[in-house]
Amino acid sequence: MTTTPRTRLSPEQRREQLLDLGVRLLAHRSLDELSIDLLAEEAGISRGLLYHYFGSKQAFHEAVVRHAADDLIAQTTPPTDGEPLERLLTSVRAYVDYVVANHEGYVSLVKAAAGGNESLRAIYEEARAALNSRIFREDAVADSGEGEIVPDTPATRLVVRGWSAMTEELVLAWIDDPGGVTRDQLLAIIAGSLRAVVEAIPD
Binding site for a second copy (CB under 8 A): 110-112, 114-116, 154-155, 157-159, 161-170, 173-174, 177, 179-181, 184-185, 188-189, 192-193, 196-197, 199-202
Q: How far is the CB of 168 from a second copy (least distance, A)?
A: 7
**How far apart, in whole angstroms, are the C-alpha atoms of residue 30 and residue 68?**
13
Q: Between 38 and 189, name the residue whose CB sits nearer to a second copy.
A: 189
**34 with 82: CB under 8 angstroms?**
no
Q: Cα–Cα–Cα angle for 105, 57, 36, nearest 5°?
A: 75
Q: What is the C-alpha to C-alpha distance for residues 169 and 155, in angstroms, rounded to an integer?
A: 21
Distance in Å, CB of 61 to a second copy, minimum: 15
> Is 9 or 196 the residue whose CB approaches a second copy more closely?
196
- Complex with a second copy: residue 37 or 184, whichever CB lies closer: 184
Distance of closest approach, residue 173 Cβ to a second copy, in angstroms? 5
In angstroms, the CA 150 to CA 85 distance is 10
